[in-house]
Structure 1
Amino acid sequence: MGSFDKKGTLVIENGVLIDGKKCSGDVTIPDSVTSIGAGAFMDCTSLTSITIPDSVTSIGFCAFSGCNILTKIKVAGGSSYTTVNGILMTADRKTLVQYPAGKTAASYTIPDSVTSIGDDAFDSCTSLTSITISDSVTSIGDRAFSHCRNLTSITIPDSVTSIGEFAFSGCANLTSITIPDSVTCIENSAFSDCENLTSITIPDGVTSIGDGIFERCVSLTSITIPDGVTSIDSGAFFGCMSLTSITIPDGVTSIGDAVFWGCVNLTSITIPDGVTSIGETAFFACEKLTDVTIPSSVTSIGEDAFANCEDLTIYGYADTCAETYAKENNIPFECLSAAPSPCTIEGTVLVKYTPAPDVPAEVIIPEGVTEIGDEAFKETAVQEVVCPSTLHTIGENAFNHCAKLKKITLPAGLRELSYNAFVFCISLTEIALPEGVERIPIHCFFNCFSLKRIVIPEGVTEIGMEAFHKCSSLTEVTLPASIRKIGMYAFAGCTSLRVIHMHLDIRKLDGFSMNIVKDCGDVVFDDLTYPAPAPKQTVPVPKQAAPAPVLPEKPSEDAAQAAEKERLAAEARKLAEEQQRLQEMAARLAEERRRLEEAARQQEEQQRLQEEAARLAEERRRLEEAAKQQAEQRRIQAEEAARQ
């Protein structure tokens, strides 16, 4: 642990002052100290002034917290720190390190030189009632104004972008505060225990409501949460006893543990459709909460989430997490009728999309679907599709002739695109393919003539024949180094195409032909690597008195062999291209044959069904005739019996 050097009541170890809590009056730190440790003088209630030597280069957090009669800090020279009117700052005066808590002034204006208010800078400064922060300040540190219990007003300028943890915690008399739109980050517990804070507006740039941020703000009646917020973390509104209602924005996906614990006057709350999880004890002891609607998007509700909500009724949908939770915890449940889904799902496969007249043009495919089946959306008027994270396959002709499809969001887990997947999607302007896709098959984006931009990700090894044929708005294409095969006419008819960025070595391609850009005009192939020519050799020639006459040389045997090799290589490339063309033609013919066989099979099946229907109709006619004969026979028998 090292040796200790005790000087009076200071404990110093290896140049670090680690304990001065028993000091009193005026204290001068010796020159042997290079660092003041975290909490070194914390709660030293008898310390009135302190002199810091120029040897000190760092001061830990909470070093002077709770020194409630400390009125002055002095620095003896020094290159790291300085003081202004007894207030400690860094030498460049850009960071306000410590305002002595024992100062008696009621107000203070932070100098224009300051850009950062340090951690614990005004901790427990109970004499201050107002503080003016200069426009130069961009950040407010952790616990910067914590326990300034008499602070009633503070103006945060537009220059500030972040507010640290517990920054205003325990400012018991702060009634309102305006946070500028420039602030994008508010850390955990920033306004906890502000007992008289009644209202606050969170700026639009904030995306997360941190842990305990308004914990025990018992007077808070209203709060505005911006649309950009996606999560409300644990204990955010814990013990906000005056809060009666709150609107959770649509972007929120999770509600953390104990978020509204003890909000005893909360009577209503709307949970938006995007929320997927509600944490443990989230609404514990919300005594006046009588009803809550839980959307079907919620897949997880933590233990005791609605415990001690005595008059609560949960509204939700059948066979959902909400119904299960209500039944398991003996909470009344009212089932809502769900609108019929336009998507027919069998197992994990979406087999058919059948839109009703009132169904919106945007389709959100539910989580759990792993495959969009063949022709699922074919020739429908869908305009936008959001695919689930579970999707890994898009089947043949899945979006064939979806003429109004403008946008589709593909998940990172997608692995397979199939033949004709987006053929004739004439309104599709751009698409982002995830990195898991390895192959873009034949005709995948055929005739998508509004498609302007596509980046083919690393990992794709093959682009099939006519994959982007007649995408006439496509101006630029980026191909990754992983490409090994580009099918015939892959980009043919792309009349606006001007550059293809090919980050690959042509030698690694399985054949390469300029027919991939047939009918495209002038296309530049950028970043394409060709085989390097053989380096020239220089042979030194010894000096001679007179040069010998130079006679024309016969081509060397090596040169002739090299020329023959080059000719054979060129011939091999041509043969490879022809082989590729024939292979692709064979694949195309095989595909067409498969399609025709399938059509023939369907026709045969249809004919069989028609014959079966005719047979059944004949059987039905025969049975009806027999029934008529039996009825006639019974009638005759009845008449004879009546005559007798």
Structure 2
Amino acid sequence: TAVYVGSSTASGDIVFPETVTRVKAYAFVRNKSITGLTFKGHIDAIEWGAFFQCPYITDLVFEKGVKEISGVDSEQGKIFAEKYDYEDGGDFNLNGAFFRSCSGSLWDEETFESLGFATLENLVLKGIEKIGDCAFQDCNIRNLKIDKTVRYIGEAAFTNSGNDYIFTSVSMLGADENDFYAIKDDCIVEKGSGPQYLGKNGDRLLVYAQNSSAVQFDVPEGVTYISPFAFAELKNLETVTLPEGITELYGGTFSAVLGSSLKSVLLPSTLVSLRSDTSVFGEVQLMGITGGVFTGCENLSEVEFRGTPSLEYIGANTFYVTALSEFEIPASVTYIGFSAFLNEYLVSLSVEDGNEVYVADEGVLYTKDMTTLVCYPSRKAATSYTVPEGVAAIEGYSCEVTAFLETLVIGSNVKKVGQSAFYNAHALKEITFKGNVEMLGQSAFFGAPNLNKVIFEGEIAPFLGGSHNGTYSVFASSYDSMTWEAILLCEFVVPQNAIASYYSEFYLYAPAYAEAIDLSEISDTAYTLKKDGETVAVFTDSLVKTEPTCEGSGYFQGWYLSDGSADGDWGERVEFPAYFEQDTIILYARFGEQRVQDGKAWGRDFELDANGEALDVTFKNGRAVYFRFTAPRSGSLNLLYDGLTSDEFYLQTDDVSGVEYVVLSDYDNPQSWCYETEEGKTYFVSIKIYLFDGINIDCAVSFEIV
């Protein structure tokens, strides 16, 4: 007997002689030249990762059988990735023997036309006893036959969330079932390994052949667990019935990226959770979004229960991009994740009597106390809608893709509109905020091409989340794909006595937002600027957008409403932008021995202590704070942020010359950012902290040279 270790030059169709009984781990890893494998003798094992990501294998033949196709060994995968310096080492944690093989794109070499994907038309596993976790994950297998000798089939052994979805049939050689598995009706069921139901161990459905010709399927009685992605990317199946005893369905179970034929599903009354994660892989990601149980089932229009529902948990994106037009939230439901019902067909939501957490009002879903708007149906027919006065928050992703809503009035008690709340609200033309909304999340109203007017009636400007870039801008209609600059088309109408506040807040967010404020109704003011009793400037303007500069003896302290040069009473300092309703106004320049340090601009920047003493600073989400420091010696600078953890923020820093650095922080507290410095040189740096939640955060800032 012999063990095949591997060959980096192997290509074409490889024939292994009878003496070969085992292929070692990673023997042919990522070999793109192999097209076929034939094993003449009996194989004891194809070890984990042996043919990892060999995409063009289209023939796999075990003439005398194979005992084991090994599955995941994540620790060895990590060691292998580090040893050979693979940047995408995470893939090796799912190192089944044929993981992501047999699935590469095929092209006509002369015409460059696509010929589809590499496919194993027929895979026969004669004499097989063990098929490990992820052994054939993301492989294109059309017809699969597994010998009745099989004793173990691992999680995701045949799951395909890859390039093609042609898994047509699966059956058992010599029988329909053995003591461990039933393999019939194009699905694999593992006996006795599922959660208990009625005092008896249930069964686990591992996978269903997604391209099976059946249009209706009843999951066998006794099944109490369905593996993630078991029914993903269905091509013909339209109706599925699930038996009593199933309590959880995991993220991706019926999901689709390229489309699903599923139209109707009958759920068991025992079902408690529709999750957006899995028991094996954690949170499910589909095309960059969190994957729910039915995400992408574009034809699914009917969901019913076999009896009185026990459902408590509906995870994020559960029915995202389905065809549901109506849905009644069972009385038992206590949690609904973001975008759970987001699709282009939903007309109305209702809530069963007795639910203690949720309530529906005119088809719109709210928390029971009517303080939070949870979901506004995208195809609700109303062209105008007023958010009730008692509502304090509009959840993120709650009102996306509204087809008919043109006029929106947001009640005076609303304090927060979450991220992407009204994303792609195509019909929206006008928004009125009746009160002092505190925060508008990033992308809250992005993608509304017809939005032309936003009216703020509150006297305090809201905080705008995200940044004026790409799809992150709060009110932008679109963005320039070349420059990533967001395009703002609407105008803002704000209270006359709060114009300066709005202009300042919006300018800090993006100058384009400040310039979009309607100033047509405010009158001009004649300004006189004085220093030491003498007039230094006279001008007329409605709004003074930036602070006028002034030179004198000592440090400039700002402009004040009173001349305190004689008695020290300067009155109130004027903040810019500045607006006064008077016809005339006199401002007085003040100078002093100490430089003003409030971090709001260059010249007013905080000076960090050369000995490393920390300075307590309040950062406003996404707003720059300005600093300077003089390096006591040459070396690597560490800017330290005591009080922040890596899951709270990331940093953006700019030096005075405008060079931008972006740092994704993943260190333990305190946080640091490194920069090479020269002794005696003064450095100017602005720092923005983007919080994942909230508006303000306090931390102690210092620096050290190492």
User: Is the TM value for this pair above 0.5?
Assistant: no
Asked which structure has the greater RCO (Cα within 8 Å, sep 6+), the reply is: 2
Tell me the TM-score normalised to structure 2 length: 0.38
The structure with the larger Rg is 1
Structure showing the higher helix proportion among its residues: 1
How does the TM-score come out when normalised to structure 1? 0.41
- Whichever structure has more strand as a proportion of its residues is 2
